[in-house]
């Protein structure tokens, strides 16, 4: 179904927006991670208190006939496979050509880097392909494992019709933001894998001596041939699933009626306050400023869909205060759109695109550095360029039904209402009997709804407690230290730089 309307946003500083983005499809979900902090602890060194707390929660099953069976199909061996999600349960769904996101107004034009950046030329955040289908996962949590029948009966398959929207964020972990999903036909519990924050404080004895300064011509910068590739979710920002879910359900449904005075989806200015409150990883602004000062080229390579990722990048640039994204690579630039990739992402692909489309003849896999919280993001031949960072899991709720009220649903067709109902139940953001009149709910359904609410509140409390220690994260502060210790990024220094950064963040 075609999406109506578009999102108006505030232009980021020095980043003219360009229209006419192609349509994309689908949307995605993510489970929670992150927890207590031990100063000096190695990144990803343990599961922590949060993991232990979540292990004490038991699956909430809605029954094999529930709406949860309408989730997105997960292809074995696809880009979604990783050690991190090895034990997750995936659901099959029908794909529909009717679900078509709107044209996205957020396209950025990079300013020319000037004489001192030969070969760079004007670049832009640009879309490569339409978005592919993405995996769906639901959280299964409650106080007991008693299975009950959901009110959302699984309808017969109808060609060309979709029953549940997919999520659009790039990293779907165990919770996705206090979502309480369905276990469907299995009561298999989630595998906990919560990494710790990087709060290592580098002492003077651990810091390498800065190299002697090198005198360069006025037009040259020491890192003008350094390519920095940044993952987005859980690397630059925290857990955005709650925000993307609202954006998804508002903008990816062909509403019969929508209030004229309300935009569909989240605008950039609506995302910005979340970044300001803590969703942007601490120290990132200073690290990006250091990259800009040395003349490095920064690209974002995310597993999120382009239409969502471009909004997040625009909001980050507004908060940072300058344009830093030379080019945006999204889900279709991962193995989802390139089955021949040997891992979820490919640095060789990024380098080839920069050479062919942006004139960066100097770009090379051997001298690039990539930051990602997924240790399996690159294949073995490129993993030497990957710096695996601790997952940053700051989370906040975002009310998905602020605009989608009962009155609004009453003014839309039964098909639209059914799609909304099945989607939000499957995502775990609404109780199992959502959409059913209170007087028609059985005692068993009321009991399941109460268990859902209890489980949601427990998860939210755990995630919000994590936020209290998120400000201690030192990842990007330590990366900045490593950047400023290199006087000039020649071939030798760029090849050795990932090892230097790993030492700095240990």
Q: How far is CA 187 from CA 53, 55, 64, 255, in A?
A: 19, 14, 10, 35
Of the two residues 171 and 464, the one the predictor is more confident about is 464
- Backbone phi, then psi, for 284, in 5-degree steps? -65, -40
Q: How confident is the model at residue 57 (pLDDT cuts 50, 70, 90)?
A: low
- Please give the average per-residue pLDDT across 160-173, as a whole number: 65
Dist CA 350 CA 354 (whole Å):
6
Dist CA 298 CA 6 (whole Å):
28
Smallest Cα–Cα separation from 394: which of 268, 246, 235? 235
- Is pLDDT at 158 greater than 80 in this prediction? no
Phi-psi region of 295 (alpha: psi -120 to 50; beta: other; left: phi over 0): left
What pLDDT, in 10s, does the model give residues 439-456?
A: 899 999 999 999 999 999
Which of 119-123, 302-306, 389-393 is predicted with the least confidence, judged by mean pLDDT? Answer: 119-123
**pLDDT at residue number 166:** 75
How many CB atoms are closer than 10 A to CB 397? 15
- Please give the average per-residue pLDDT across 157-180, as a whole number: 59
**pLDDT at residue number 181:** 53
Q: How far is CA 251 from CA 99, 101, 403, 502, in A?
A: 10, 6, 12, 40
Of the two residues 156 and 249, the one the predictor is more confident about is 249
Smallest Cα–Cα separation from 300: which of 233, 245, 359? 233
What pLDDT, in 10s, does the model give residues 400-409?
A: 999 999 999 9
**pLDDT at residue number 362:** 96
Q: Are 62 and 38 in contact (CB under 8 A)?
A: no
> What is the pLDDT of the chain when averaged over all its residues?
72
Dist CA 123 CA 139 (whole Å):
40
pTM for the model stands at: 0.66
What pLDDT, in 10s, does the model give residues 171-186?
A: 655 554 555 554 333 3
- Is pLDDT at 32 greater than 70 in this prediction? no
Smallest Cα–Cα separation from 304: which of 422, 168, 489? 168
Which of 164-178, 207-221, 293-307 is predicted with the least confidence, judged by mean pLDDT? Answer: 207-221
Q: How far is CA 227 from CA 17, 218, 435, 482, in A?
A: 24, 21, 50, 15
- Is pLDDT at 106 greater than 50 in this prediction? no
What pLDDT, in 10s, does the model give residues 328-352?
A: 999 999 999 999 999 999 999 999 9
**pLDDT at residue number 126:** 44
């Amino acid at each position: 179904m075609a999406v109506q309307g578009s999102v108006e946003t505030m232009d980021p500083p020095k980043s003219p927006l360009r229209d006419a983005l192609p349509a994309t499809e689908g949307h995605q979900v993510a489970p929670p991670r992150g927890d207590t902090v031990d100063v000096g602890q190695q990144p990803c060194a343990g599961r922590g208190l949060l993991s232990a707390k979540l292990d004490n929660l038991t699956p909430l099953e809605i029954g094999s006939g529930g709406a949860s069976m309408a989730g997105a199909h997960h292809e074995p061996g696809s880009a979604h496979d990783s050690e991190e999600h090895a034990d997750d349960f995936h659901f099959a769904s029908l794909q529909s050509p009717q679900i078509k996101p709107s044209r996205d107004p957020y396209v950025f034009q990079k300013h020319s880097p000037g004489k001192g950046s030969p070969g760079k030329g004007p670049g832009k955040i640009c879309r490569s392909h339409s978005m592919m289908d993405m995996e769906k996962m639901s959280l299964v949590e409650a106080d007991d494992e008693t299975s009950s029948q959901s009110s959302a009966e699984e309808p017969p398959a109808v060609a060309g019709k979709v029953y549940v929207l997919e999520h659009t964020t790039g990293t779907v972990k165990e919770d996705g933001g206090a979502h309480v999903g369905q276990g469907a036909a299995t009561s298999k519990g989630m595998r906990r894998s919560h990494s710790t924050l990087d709060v290592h404080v580098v002492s003077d004895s651990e810091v390498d001596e800065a190299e002697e300064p090198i005198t360069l011509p006025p037009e040259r910068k020491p890192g003008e041939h350094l390519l920095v590739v940044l993952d987005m979710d859980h690397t630059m920002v925290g857990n955005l699933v709650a925000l993307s879910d609202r954006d998804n359900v508002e903008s990816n449904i062909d509403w019969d009626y929508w209030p004229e005075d309300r935009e569909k989806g989240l605008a950039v200015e609506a995302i910005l306050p979340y970044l300001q409150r803590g969703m942007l990883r601490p120290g990132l602004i200073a690290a990006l400023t250091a990259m800009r000062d040395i003349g490095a080229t920064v690209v974002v390579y995310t597993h999120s869909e382009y239409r969502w990722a471009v909004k997040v990048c625009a909001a980050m640039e507004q908060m940072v205060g300058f344009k830093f994204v030379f080019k945006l690579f999204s889900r279709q630039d991962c193995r989802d759109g390139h089955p021949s990739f040997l891992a979820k992402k490919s640095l060789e692909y990024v380098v080839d695109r920069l050479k062919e489309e942006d004139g960066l003849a100097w770009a090379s896999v051997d001298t690039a550095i990539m930051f990602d919280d997924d240790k399996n993001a690159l294949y073995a031949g490129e993993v030497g360029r990957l710096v695996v960072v601790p997952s940053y899991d700051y989370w906040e709720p975002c009310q998905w039904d602020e605009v989608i009220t009962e009155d609004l649903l009453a003014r839309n067709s039964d098909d639209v209402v059914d799609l909304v109902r099945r989607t939000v139940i499957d995502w775990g953001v609404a109780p199992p009997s959502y959409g059913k009149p209170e007087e028609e709910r059985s005692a068993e359904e009321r009991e399941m709804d109460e268990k859902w609410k209890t489980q949601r509140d427990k998860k939210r409390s755990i995630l919000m407690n994590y936020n209290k220690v998120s400000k201690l994260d030192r990842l990007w502060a330590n990366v900045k230290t490593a950047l400023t210790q290199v006087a000039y990024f020649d071939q030798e220094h760029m090849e050795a730089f990932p090892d230097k950064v790993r030492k700095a963040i240990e």
